[in-house]
Amino acid sequence: MTKKSLILTALLTLATSVQVAFAGVTVPGTPDACTKASTWQNPKGDVVVATPARIAEINKSMLSDRLFELDKYPTTIDKATLQKYLDHFSMDYNQYVNGKKLQKQWADGLVKDANSNLPTTTNVQYGVVVARNNMRSFPTLQQAFSKPEDHDFDNWQETAVDPGEPVLILHQNAKKDFSFVQMKCYRGWIETNKIALTNRDGWLQYVNPQDFAVVTDKLVAFKGKNNANWLYQMGDRIPVDKDGKLILPMRTTDGILANIEANSKWDNRLHKGYLPYTTNNIVAMAFKHLGAQYGWGGLKNSVDCSGLTQDVYKTVGIQLNRNASEQRKAFKGIDFTGMNKDQRERTIKELATGSLLFSPGHVMLYLGTYNNKPYMIHSVGSYGIKNAKGGYDRKSIMHVIVSDVDLMRANGITLMMQMQKANTYK
């Protein structure tokens, strides 16, 4: 297969996104000063935390069955391994689709479609994602929710996938409208028409680009001729050619990768190469998301808790796992097990700015202390508020916020007392 090359000048613009902190949502215990990045930045924060060589060591230490060095992936996959990957996504029939109870016959058909025509051995194919889209648990864009009234937490949404993401195509469903792929930090189903095929050499230009730009804003959009558009999220890498032009991927009518050239503009939205790994840069990147909608699995063109931390750290070259539990386990940190409230607070106060704090199903980025109180920035679905009966009710928030560590959960327990671990990447 041959790799085609087209030339197109693209216009760099910012995607429309929420820019006002909190978007009218108030958070208990957070002074206005804490919602400003400058409060958490200082001259010492410009000291480099880790060199590129050390960052490479950190990244290598976190590799796992889910976080791969793609260029070292084998050229074939056997049926047993592929079946294990597919079976990772088990069907739960106690869900709702379009507000109605999931029909078992339809759900079983979905599973059958996913598992059809598995050969003894599959030759992997090389592809590049050409448009922002959603990675799914099953080969469908239908959404599944735990409650009929829910519209935010789609159980079949795994993560958003941006243009330029190199993938290995491991399998296709019977209809061939979805492909099961391995990307660097995740596996799942994405629409086949969002992937352009290429040979290994063309694919490696996206896996290990010699020169590249890093997106350093919440969202950046490129618009070109004939309604072509590309939407990138913070931390995405865009290859740069020898003439200093950005390389954007496009799928031709026959499904092959075409490289599109776009003029580069180095500013606070695009940085040539990774940002230096400093705590001031980590804070600056995190605060670009402040006030954004909570986006489960990258829905709403936004971030959930682990998407926020992953995006922020990608800007300095640290490649975290996608999910909070995987981020927690992948790196050796400080275990909070058995600590009382005073011990936890004392330990947190000693952490470096930018450290990640983990509670069950949630991750937060530590900022530091203000008036001797520890604060963090995180993408939150809800928190607990005391009711007239002395108990706690769930209050929806669905934003990226700054809060202190004593923000209450709906179960009446503070986030600090639910914390399991802290990771500091250095």
Q: What is the DSSP annotation of 148-175?
A: TT--S--TTEEEEE-TT-EEEEEEE-TT
CATH class of 15-64+273-423: alpha beta
C-alpha dihedral sign at 201, 203, 207, 209: positive
Distances (CA, A) of 233 to 183, 339, 400: 16, 37, 15
Query: Could you tell me the two tokens for 144?
Result: 């599944």
> Do 161 and 182 touch, CB atoms closer than 8 A?
no
Ordered DSSP codes for 68-83? --GGGS-SEEEHHHHH
Tokens of 282: 């980590």
212-215, strands of its sheet edge to edge: 237-239, 212-215, 270-272
- Closest by CA to 406, choosing from 372, 363, 361, 373, is 373
- Residue spans per domain, the chain: 4-12+66-272, 15-64+273-423
- Residue 45 tokens read as 């924060």
How many other C-beta atoms lie within 10 A of the C-beta of residue 262?
A: 22
For tokens 């250095």, the residue is: 426
Q: How do the pLDDT tens digits run along the chain, 426 residues long?
A: 333 334 444 444 433 333 334 444 568 889 999 999 999 999 999 999 999 999 999 999 999 988 989 999 999 999 999 999 999 999 999 999 999 999 999 999 999 999 999 999 999 999 999 999 999 999 999 999 999 999 999 999 999 999 999 999 999 999 999 999 999 999 999 999 999 999 999 999 999 999 999 999 999 999 877 778 999 999 999 999 999 999 999 999 999 999 999 998 899 999 999 999 999 999 999 999 999 999 999 999 999 999 999 999 999 999 999 999 999 999 999 999 999 999 999 999 999 999 999 999 999 999 999 999 999 999 999 999 999 998 999 999 999 999 999 999 999 999 999 999 999 999
How far is residue 283's CA from residue 155's CA, in Å, rounded to a whole number? Answer: 31
Q: How far is CA 111 from CA 88, 180, 210, 370, in A?
A: 12, 13, 40, 51
Q: How far apart are CA 75 and CA 179, in angstroms?
A: 17
Task: Give the closest residue to 314 by CA, choosing from 33, 27, 18, 62.
Answer: 62
pTM (2 d.p.): 0.94
